[in-house]
Amino acid sequence: MDGNASIWSSDNYNQESIRLCVEKLKEEFGQQFSNSQSILEQHTHTMTIHESELPDGVVFAETKDDVQKVVKICKDYKCPIIPFGVGSSFEGHLNAPYGGISIDMNNMNKILKVYQDDLLVVVQPGVTREQLNTYLRDTGLFFPIDPGANASIGGMTATRASGTNAVRYGTMKDNVIALEVVTPDGQIIKTANKARKSSAGYDLTRLMVGSEGTLGIATEITLKLYGIPEIIAGGRVSFPTVKDATDAVIMTIQAGIPVARIEFMDTAQVIAINNYSKTNLPEAPLLLVEFHGSQSSVDEQSELFGEISSDFGGKDFEWTSNNEERNKLWKARHDAYWSCRAVRPEAELYSTDVCVPISKLSDCITETIEDMEQNELIGPIVSHAGDGNFHVALLIDKNNKTELEKLDKFLVRISERAIRMDGTCTGEHGVGQGKRKYMLKELGNAVNVMKSVKEAFDPHKIMNPGKLFL
């Protein structure tokens, strides 16, 4: 199989067959089905600059039986299926380039069972991150994966999401124990039981996590939980340069300090946050850090981090274990998206991310900032610095052809820059439509293997077509 050859073609999808499928679903699901224009638009509208490509209908699933029925009907008519969570994706995952049916999973939002002794929980895919942690609060447990947006657990699983806590707790691939999945032929399978490890055959759980709805639709998700730490303390420290800040991160990780979060913001992002969130952060490269543990361990970790920061020119170090103050600090970080929007309100925001080995983080960020300055692009940067992942929030006038051309060329350069540094074109946003053209450059012939897996699971190419690879 030629890695450059596209597996997607409009010839695979017959419009009359899709129309008949829509009629069948309308008959079967009644009020759970809609093809009104406003509903169709809502199910492609995402936090992205990609143009919307509407489905032909939306089914609001309420049970796994609903999902199974939709898949079986769509299989019979060879009609595309696009799973939908809360719509927080950045890379066009929810678009319907060949039409078809969007399955809205938001009504499948039950927390099915908490296994406190095993530190596990089973949820439906429509449960959101914030909903889950609110529910767990009285148990003394929490789910740590925090991508920033209040995303659905199903969407986070599909895109292999991570976020601010990944440096300590890992990503979704590390925290999904098992899945119940509706496959493209309409079977319901479980990928594993609830044991923390297994050597029983292929690891279907990790195959599904990050597959972006192209191999099946998760209807139940079993997740790892963690005890809420005795003490959570956080702080901030400013640095003279990007290199000073990232070198402090590298030294912190190399010293084995178990930091829970270590986030970098460039000067442009700090200024944006100050203006939007009414904070008084020093307008210089900044690290936000957080430690979890006992009082003594947190005190020791913060002291060591303070010493390392000082060695690299860190100043204005502020530290707190007060929940209100700490939450205010992280609220400003979570408002980064909206603070960037406010920099240029008339523009659209295109967020892109890459990830490199932490030893290359300074070089990659510095080159990227220089790239934007040379090409007169506005793009504040935030980084999950502990694992080498950073995001650029580019503000673009979609009606300005010159700016759009600059954006397209920049996206190629930043992705190729990360790959050149032995990194990846996407650390946590996923591939969707936006990053497909870089897959071959990053993974070579492995893309052919992915295409073969797709063909084996989904020979009719009905599961979220047009995503992951060309």
For each of the domains in the chain, give its residue range(s) and CATH number, in order of start: 10-106 (3.30.43.10), 111-227 (3.30.465.10), 231-334 (3.30.70.2190), 338-443 (3.30.70.2740)
Residue 452 is predicted with a pLDDT of 97
Residue 46 is predicted with a pLDDT of 66
Residue 350 is predicted with a pLDDT of 92
Burial readout 319-346 (b: 16 or more C-beta within 10 A, e: otherwise): bebeeeebeebbebbbbbbebbbebeee
Query: What whole-number distance in Å separates Cα of residue 447 and Cα of residue 361?
Result: 26
Q: What are phi and psi of 112, to 5 degrees?
A: -80, -45
Query: What whole-number distance in Å separates Cα of residue 367 and Cα of residue 417?
Result: 9
Query: What whole-number distance in Å separates Cα of residue 154 and Cα of residue 84?
Result: 9
Residue 3 is predicted with a pLDDT of 63
Residue 366 is predicted with a pLDDT of 97
Query: What whole-number distance in Å separates Cα of residue 267 and Cα of residue 350?
Result: 19
CA distances from 78 to 55, 67, 365, 436 (A): 14, 16, 45, 23
Query: What whole-number distance in Å separates Cα of residue 466 and Cα of residue 470?
Result: 7
Instruction: Work out whether strand 81-84 and strand 101-104 pair parallel, antiparallel, or are unpaired.
Output: parallel
Helix-helix angle 64-77:15-29, to 10 degrees: 150
Position 333, amino acid = R
Degrees to nearest 5, angle at CA 45 with 44 and 51: 80
CA distances from 13 to 6, 18, 36, 45, 97 (A): 15, 8, 22, 23, 11
Burial readout 130-153 (b: 16 or more C-beta within 10 A, e: otherwise): ebbbebbeeeebbbbbbbbbebbb
Residue 323 is predicted with a pLDDT of 83
Residue 83 is predicted with a pLDDT of 97
Task: Compute mean pLDDT per 10 residues along the chain, 470 residues long, and list them.
Answer: 78 96 98 97 80 96 98 98 93 96 98 98 97 96 91 96 92 97 98 96 97 98 96 93 96 94 96 93 94 93 93 90 82 87 94 96 97 97 95 95 96 98 96 95 96 96 96
Intra-chain end-to-end CA distance of the chain, in Å: 13
Residue 2 is predicted with a pLDDT of 66
Q: At a CB cut-off of 8 Å and minimum separation 6, what does 27 contact?
A: none
On whether the CB atoms of residues 427 and 355 are closer than 8 A, the answer is yes
Residue 318 is predicted with a pLDDT of 85
